[in-house]
Amino acid sequence: MSRLYRFLLVLYPPEFRNKYGEEQATVFDEMWHRTLRDENIFAAGGFAIRAMIDLFVMALLTGDGRPGALERFFSFLAVLFLIPSTIFATVNITKYNLGEPALYDWWSSMGIHLSDAVILGGPLAAMAILLLPLVHLNVGSTMILQRSSQKLSRWSIVIAGGSVMIMGIFIMYGIVENIIPAL
């Protein structure tokens, strides 16, 4: 458990980690062993979970406006959600325009109706992942815009822009293919 906590310290900005990381890990180690000795494994497990949630939140709040490791982690997670949607969108549009059955038809024939979830769910999840830390950071702050601009890294903006673009393409595609012909 102490090794995992020590490893997670990588989420802090380097300056903080170099100055307080070793000491923070030592304190966790002492508290973990004391809880294990004085109480029981369940109490120690509860303490470890709380300490790690605390580490995540504090790593997010620590720093001077530059993107930290935790923010990069959120950006990476958002990209993972965007990848299936992007592949699906690209392949589907290409196949459709070549006159071949789209992936949607193939999936539907297999009895799977996940297309909508993949198409809009991916970008929406990516946006939510990127916005979640900002919402958390701005709770109790009166300087919402300033804090948001400080914490939005270039990567986050690119990924958020990509999410919006993919959603926009599909909404436009849906309008052109379904609503306009019906008119």
Partner 1 sequence: MRAYEFLPLTFAVYHILIALSEGRRHGYGIIQEIEAQTDGRLRMPPGTLYGAISRLVERGLIEEIETEDDERRRYYQLTALGRQVMVAEAQRLEELVNLARSKRVLPDEGGQS
Residues contributing to the site for partner 1 (CB under 8 A): 16, 19-20, 22-28, 30-31, 47, 50-51, 54-55, 57-59, 61-62
CB of 140 to partner 1, least distance (A): 10
Q: At which residue do the structure tokens 């979640």 appear? A: 132
CB 32 within 8 A of CB 47: yes
Based on CB atoms, which residue is closest to partner 1, 28 or 104?
28
Based on CB atoms, which residue is closest to partner 1, 70 or 167?
70
Based on CB atoms, which residue is closest to partner 1, 60 or 119?
60
CB of 58 to partner 1, least distance (A): 4
φ, ψ dihedrals at 98, nearest 5°: -90, 0
Based on CB atoms, which residue is closest to partner 1, 38 or 111?
38
CB of 71 to partner 1, least distance (A): 16
CB of 167 to partner 1, least distance (A): 36
20/76 Cα distance (integer angstroms): 26
DSSP code per residue over 28-80 = HHHHHHHHHHHS-HHHHHHHHHHHHHHHHHHHHH-SSSS--HHHHHHHHHHHH
In the chain, where do the E strands start and end? none
